[in-house]
Amino acid sequence: MKGRDRVNRKIVGIIILAVVLVGGLYYFAAIKDGELKEKSVPENNITEDIDENVGEKEASEDLTYDIAIGEEAPDFTLKDLNGDEVSLSDYRGKIVLINFWATWCKYCDIEMPDLQKLDKENDDLVVLAVDVMEKKSLVEEYIEKGGYDFQVVLDEDGDIAKTYLVSAFPTSYFVDKDGILLGGVPGMMTYAQMTKIIEGIRESE
């Protein structure tokens, strides 16, 4: 019970931080049926709609997503740029910032150096950058040119983006050391904003 209260306080703290710090963005909150609900969408911070096949439910399909704040984040396994398999669950014991992005996204491009800095300066944090539906060669070129060395994996079919209800880039999710999904912030964040959220997670542990 005490552990559950700690998680609940942590979730509330992250949502409050996301709302206060990321003024123009929208955020996710858990709804009773266990899915996430989009609360509001700004006109000026969504970079570009993701491919129409990503995050969109086909009328002929009955798709459900097992994702809810305060519950275990859906695990996934994707290949990195070296062809090795990487799973979210590999990072238990660390805070994980899952960042969904694409090379064409200008706000992702602005955010990337801050993700690099955050990853370098925090030993208890992993930035897991999930590129969605782009060719490996294109992503490799972008990462090499930028000099980024945080973990990059390829969501080639967009299935993980669908699972995490991603509708625009960039979108970031925060997962605690126990693998619990704390919340998400669709839209670009600054280094200061990311740091505030990470500090809030630590304070709630």
| Structure tokens, 201 | 């997670």
Could you list the residue range(s) of the whole structural domain that residue 179 is in?
2-203
Helix/strand/coil for 36: strand
Per the listing, tokens 């552990």 go with 3
Residue 39 vs residues 23, 101, 158, 186, 195: alpha-carbon distances, Å: 13, 21, 23, 11, 23
User: Which CATH number do you get for residue 12?
Assistant: 3.40.30.10
- pTM of structure: 0.76
The answer to whether 175 and 98 have CB atoms below 8 angstroms apart is yes
| Structure tokens, 199 | 């500090």
What's the structural domain count of the chain?
1
pLDDT in tens, the chain (205 residues): 555 555 555 555 555 445 434 433 333 333 223 333 333 333 333 334 444 444 333 333 444 467 899 999 999 999 999 999 999 999 999 999 999 999 999 999 999 999 999 999 999 999 999 999 999 999 999 999 999 999 999 999 999 999 999 999 999 999 999 999 999 999 999 999 999 999 999 998 8
Report which secondary-structure segment, H or E, holds 183: strand 181-186
